[in-house]
A and B are shown apart, each in its own frame.
Chain A
Amino acid sequence: MTQRPMIELKDVHKYYGDYHALRGINADIKAGEFFSLLGPSGCGKTTLLRTIAGFEDITSGVVMIDAKHMEGVPANKRPTNMVFQSYAIFPHLTVAQNVGFGLRRDPRSQAEKDKAVAEALEMVGLKGFGARAAHALSGGQRQRVALARALILKPKVLLLDEPLSALDKKLRENMQVELIKLQRQVGITFILVTHDQEEALVMSDRIAVMFEGEIAQLDDPETLYRLPKSRKVADFIGHMNFLPAAIHGEANGEIEVEVLGLGRCHISDKQAPGAVSGGEASIGFRPETLTILYEGQAATDRETTGKVEEVVYYGDMTYYDVKLDGVADPVRISMRNVPGRPVLERGASTRVAWSASALVLFR
């Protein structure tokens, strides 16, 4: 049995005057999914979110929520609620009045509503804060109030526009975990807008990476990280090294490539997930897929040699920029710092282990 997606976007276009902000968005978002829209500033993430919320009319295309056409349905009639980037806490009301705001038209008795408000506050960890003035809250508390206020209405979809960007790093990381827990607890479809790739990777079931009004790739975090479909996506999510490559043939699901600095190898055609663009081919790999070999250590697969150009020590990790023999630009290699393993000096010559299975081909 296949369940109907919670949200279906079909060829959604949006123009602001002459500016083409959304250029044919297609996506299905499953019920109960934690879905993220990730992309650089100005790529149209907020616009797409507001399109789903009903704050923006689309120029063409179809938005369906829970199998219903949303054309002509205003924001206050959609089964969605939004957590705004600024939180939009009503400053003249108390915390409880803020959280209970959406219940004004609810036919339940006041006592039942008060109970619902108390429960919502408890859920976001603000038990007993109801009587406080909303404007006197900290950033993290505001964010929780905004969450409680939206969730109390039990929407089918919760829309979050960069909800954590105003918080400092520690608090942000805590809230990420809390949001994931909360989402599992309530089982509501979450759509999160973020420009922070780490946040998207940590939190989401699936991520849509957007560039210039288009979805460049829509996948689960692991696929997105391991098998990006384009160099642009690869570059946006984490760090990826690129080396020029030449394709020497393709047969039986295998591709033979000659990689500058690494040599000739065979890779699976699954390692070339992107469409053929016709440009120059290149091979990409993540910093952690190479290993700096220490004296006497044997490579498990293939190895090459190079020279350490730069060392950046991070405590738990060390980043090396290594110039592979025969390659002009250095590649980045990250190594976990473990006891007994010395951190290399700049200028040191080293052997580097690599494996063909960790390569991604862009062609």
Chain B
Amino acid sequence: MKSNGNGLLVYAIVYLAFLYAPIFLLPLFAFNDATIIAFPLRGFTTGWFKAMADDGVLKGAVLNSLIVASSTAVLSTTLAIFAARASTRFDFKGKGAIMGLIMMPLVLPEIVMAMAILVVFLQVFGDILGLFTIILGHTLVCTPFAIAILSAAFQSLDKSLEEAAYDLGENKFSTFRLIILPLVLPGVVSALLISFTISMDEFILANFLGGQTPTLPVYIYSQLRFPKAIPVIMAVATCLVAVSICLLIIAEYFRRRGVAKTGGKDTGGFL
């Protein structure tokens, strides 16, 4: 019994080390005063961060990514609210098939979607590739995730809450605004954050559909060819890790607040 438990502990430690050790290495090299990514460390510098801040193309890429990710988050969450509400509250013909097709991008290889969309865009619309087309592609990918989160939120709503509001004189729309939306708000926030994160680090679609407009992942990938640029990339990655941790904390805060406010049981969040 005892030795068995130890084995599992070792396994858990190895697993976590494999997962997180590389991420801890990022800031190490980002502050290391050397162009080569190797031990031993040389000395402390913030030079790479300065270089990062001075890089105009990089800033452009970050801005592109922010625009794409926020637009995608808002767009896919909005669409997901409609879809999740419809699928949990109403029965309609072909519901299973429609929902199945909407959720398909979850399992469809992205490269397939990227090529298909690219061909259609180029053939039908000419050369319109840019931020807008990336946003469209990302929305396609993010919406199923948002639906998965929001369906759970809508599902856990007691139907009689809506009926009570309606019974008390509200119409369908005001019931949605006053009762349903506030109660699924934690789900909406989660959906926004997840869509934002997925869009932020998505590479394949962004690379195919972006034309000459690089997002951050596309830019980073392009820079990896130049060994000199790698410490700067390490600095960028360090910033990304910091931002991710912040987002995670915000998401968890909203989730807990939602749970506390409605007096539900804390069942552990999506994040």
Interface positions of A (Cβ within 8 A of B) = 53, 55, 74-76, 80-82, 84-86, 88, 90-92, 101-102, 104-105, 133, 135-136, 149-150, 153
The answer, yes or no, to whether B183 is at the interface (CB within 8 Å) is: yes
Residues of chain B within 8 A (CB-CB) of A91 are: 183, 261-264
Interface positions of B (Cβ within 8 A of A) = 158, 160-161, 163-171, 179, 182-183, 261-264
* B169 adjacent to A104 (CB under 8 Å): yes
Of B161, B167, B183, B261, the most chain A CB neighbours within 10 A belong to: B167
**20 A-B pairs, CB-CB below 8 angstroms?**
A53-B167, A55-B163, A75-B163, A76-B166, A82-B164, A82-B167, A86-B160, A88-B158, A88-B164, A90-B165, A91-B261, A91-B262, A91-B263, A92-B183, A101-B165, A133-B263, A135-B263, A149-B164, A150-B168, A153-B168
Residues of chain B within 8 A (CB-CB) of A104 are: 169-170
Tell me the minimal C-beta distance from B17 to chain A in angstroms: 42
Complexed CA–CA distance, A85 and B163 (Å)? 12
* A136 adjacent to B169 (CB under 8 Å): no
* B261 adjacent to A92 (CB under 8 Å): yes
Specify the chain B residue showing the minimal Cβ separation from A91. B262
Residues of chain B within 8 A (CB-CB) of A101 are: 165, 168
Residues of chain B within 8 A (CB-CB) of A85 are: 160
Tell me the minimal C-beta distance from A318 to chain B in angstroms: 44
Complexed CA–CA distance, A102 and B178 (Å)? 12
Specify the chain A residue showing the minimal Cβ separation from B170. A76
* B182 adjacent to A92 (CB under 8 Å): yes
Tell me the minimal C-beta distance from A64 to chain B in angstroms: 19
* B166 adjacent to A75 (CB under 8 Å): yes
* B160 adjacent to A92 (CB under 8 Å): no
Specify the chain B residue showing the minimal Cβ separation from A136. B263
* A102 adjacent to B163 (CB under 8 Å): no
Residues of chain A within 8 A (CB-CB) of B182 are: 92
Complexed CA–CA distance, A84 and B166 (Å)? 13
Which 4 pairs across A and B sit closest by C-beta, in order of nearness?
Answer: A135-B263, A102-B168, A88-B164, A91-B262
* B163 adjacent to A135 (CB under 8 Å): no
* B161 adjacent to A90 (CB under 8 Å): yes
Specify the chain A residue showing the minimal Cβ separation from B262. A91
Specify the chain B residue showing the minimal Cβ separation from A80. B167
Residues of chain A within 8 A (CB-CB) of B264 are: 91
* B262 adjacent to A84 (CB under 8 Å): no
Residues of chain A within 8 A (CB-CB) of B164 are: 82, 84, 88, 90, 149
Do A102 and B169 contact each other (CB < 8 Å), given the known contacts A86-B158, A88-B160? yes
Tell me the minimal C-beta distance from A48 to chain B in angstroms: 16
Specify the chain A residue showing the minimal Cβ separation from B183. A92
Complexed CA–CA distance, A92 and B180 (Å)? 10
Do A105 and B167 contact each other (CB < 8 Å), given the known contacts A92-B182, A135-B262, A136-B263? no
Complexed CA–CA distance, A76 and B169 (Å)? 4
* B169 adjacent to A88 (CB under 8 Å): no
Tell me the minimal C-beta distance from A57 to chain B in angstroms: 14
Complexed CA–CA distance, A74 and B171 (Å)? 10
Tell me the minimal C-beta distance from A186 to chain B in angstroms: 17
Complexed CA–CA distance, A102 and B168 (Å)? 5
Specify the chain B residue showing the minimal Cβ separation from A85. B160
Known: A90-B165, A133-B263. 6 other contacts (CB 8 A): A75-B166, A81-B168, A91-B262, A102-B168, A102-B169, A105-B169
* B167 adjacent to A81 (CB under 8 Å): yes
Residues of chain A within 8 A (CB-CB) of B161 are: 88, 90
Complexed CA–CA distance, A136 and B264 (Å)? 10
Complexed CA–CA distance, A26 and B38 (Å)? 88
Complexed CA–CA distance, A104 and B174 (Å)? 11
Specify the chain B residue showing the minimal Cβ separation from A105. B169
* B163 adjacent to A84 (CB under 8 Å): yes
Residues of chain B within 8 A (CB-CB) of A80 are: 167
Of B161, B164, B169, B183, the most chain A CB neighbours within 10 A belong to: B164
